[in-house]
Amino acid sequence: MSFTGVIGHDRIKTVLSRMLDQGTLPHAFLFLGADGVGKTTVIQALARNLLNHSGDLYAHSDYLQLNRLIDEKTGKRKSQISVTQVRELTSRLGLSSLSGGWKVVFIEEADRLSAGAANALLKTLEEPKGNVLFFLRATDAQQLPATIVSRCQVLRFGSVAREQMQAGLVKLGFSKTDAVPAVALALGRPGRALRFLKDSSYRSELETGMTQALRFFSVSLPERLAQVMELIPKSELQKDEALDSTLDAWELLSRDLLLHKLGEHDWQVLPRTEEMKALADRISAHTLLELFSRLKQVRTASASHVNSHLALEHIALAI
């Protein structure tokens, strides 16, 4: 089958194509990997093949998607997928396929299933009816109940090599000149590179965030702790988004600092200013490793609505 638009993940594409050709698809997949690495693109490519549909999947009656709902009072996405949503999904699966073939279910944030929702889904996974294929997407299997994981075929999506990602972007029609900085910013995630190329506001936000991160990393600890309060807005609706964008910028800067130490300047995002060189000389490799560790800890904890200020202070203490 064709995985048009999917950059990298050749092994996974080969495995899925073979399963499709041999008729050995399981009833449920669990796709694991970082946001923007390509999980959704692969899911949608396979769904289009199964449903024989080249248009908008969301308009197809046999393509069912499950994600967190928006709270009508706050306008903010709810923290979990509810048991009611899973039960409604199960009811829809009991209806005949309008196209007479497959039904495809995509659970975008499987790690956000409530305990009741996970139990209700488990019953459906244990007794699948008809040609139904479930796709569960998450960043880490540890964020899901072991009983759910054991019912799925697990495929792990790793980072895509920068040369492969650059070649993929050029194949999609982007110039090499534009692809190089996009790849540098993407941290092995094609989805992030594509967003950087297509969304100018996102590109500006990342570049500004990195410049601010450089200043933040360069000041004393008391100054950093004072600035943490300014990085996260008071509005509850914007806190999660602000934390995500701040972590993106801090990860990129930490990666740039490590590349500087290794002498790999071609793939750095920020220019080698005196400020950048001074920080790279001052900060140790051990500190950078601790930074990466704490960034990962906060990324994982953010799924549980961690206190944003405390999370950033936890990282700031490592610098």
Kindly state whether residues 274 and 223 are assigned to the same domain.
Answer: yes
Residue 268: pLDDT band (50, 70, 90) is confident
So what's the pLDDT on residue 79? 83
Residue 271: pLDDT band (50, 70, 90) is confident
Kindly state whether residues 239 and 277 are assigned to the same domain.
Answer: yes
Kindly state whether residues 256 and 288 are assigned to the same domain.
Answer: yes
Total-model pTM:
0.83
Residue 237: pLDDT band (50, 70, 90) is low
d(CA 159, CA 59): 31
Kindly state whether residues 275 and 210 are assigned to the same domain.
Answer: yes
DSSP state of 283: S
Give helix 200-218 / helix 190-198 axis angle, nearest 10°: 110
Kindly state whether residues 283 and 248 are assigned to the same domain.
Answer: yes
Kindly state whether residues 130 and 173 are assigned to the same domain.
Answer: no
E strands, 13-170, are 28-32, 63-66, 103-107, 132-138, 153-156
Quote the mean pLDDT of the chain.
Answer: 90
Specify the residue for token string 């693109």: 41
Last residue of a domain, one of 156, 187, 211: 156
Alpha-carbon torsion angle 160, 161, 166, 168, nearest 10: -50
Answer whether residue 274 is part of any domain.
Answer: yes
Q: Higher model confidence: residue 205 or residue 10?
A: 10
Domain CATH code at residue 49:
3.40.50.300
Kindly state whether residues 36 and 147 are assigned to the same domain.
Answer: yes
The percentage of the chain sitting over the pLDDT mark of 90, rounded to a whole number, equals 60
Kindly state whether residues 270 and 167 are assigned to the same domain.
Answer: no
CA distances in angstroms from 171 to 106, 133, 166, 175, 299, listed in the order given: 28, 31, 9, 9, 32
Answer whether residue 2 is part of any domain.
Answer: no
Q: How long a stretch of residues is the chain? A: 319
Kindly state whether residues 86 and 175 are assigned to the same domain.
Answer: no
Going by C-alpha positions, the residue among 73, 39, 45, 69 that lies closest to residue 57 is 45
Into how many domains does the chain fold?
3
pLDDT digits (tens, 9 = 90+) for 121-137: 998 898 877 889 999 99
Answer whether residue 168 is part of any domain.
Answer: yes
So what's the pLDDT on residue 262? 86
Answer whether residue 122 is part of any domain.
Answer: yes
Last residue of a domain, one of 99, 129, 156: 156
Answer whether residue 1 is part of any domain.
Answer: no
So what's the pLDDT on residue 236? 60
For residues 206 and 45, is the Cβ–Cβ distance under 8 A?
Answer: no
Answer whether residue 127 is part of any domain.
Answer: yes
pLDDT digits (tens, 9 = 90+) for 99-109: 678 999 999 99
Kindly state whether residues 79 and 99 are assigned to the same domain.
Answer: yes
So what's the pLDDT on residue 261? 85
Kindly state whether residues 105 and 61 are assigned to the same domain.
Answer: yes
Q: Which domain holds residue 244?
A: 200-316
Answer whether residue 4 is part of any domain.
Answer: no
- Stretch among 30-34, 149-153, 198-202 having the lowest mean pLDDT: 198-202
Answer whether residue 312 is part of any domain.
Answer: yes
Kindly state whether residues 17 and 123 are assigned to the same domain.
Answer: yes
